[in-house]
Amino acid sequence: MISLATVAFGLIAAGAWNKVISDAIALLPITQGKGVLAELTYAVLVTILAIFVVRSLGKLAEREAELGPEAMLAKLRKKTDAQ
């Protein structure tokens, strides 16, 4: 049930950010009055962000597979304790 609620709130947040980013791009002088250019700019930015996030998650999954989940958590705890 917790994971379902987490996904639901994640979708709500994604929708909100979608609107903010779309509106911000529409305000750029280069895209004003050019709907297709604004949509293309938005699509490119979101694609770059998605690639970055997916690659980062992939690297994290590789590290977890190498170390094991317990060792990964211990390593993260040490980092947060040091700060």
pLDDT tens, residue by residue, 20-30: 888 888 888 87
pLDDT at residue 71 greater than cutoff 80? no
Average pLDDT, rounded, for the chain: 84
Cα–Cα dist 44/71, whole Å: 37
pLDDT one-digit tens code per residue, 40-63: 888 888 889 889 988 998 888 888
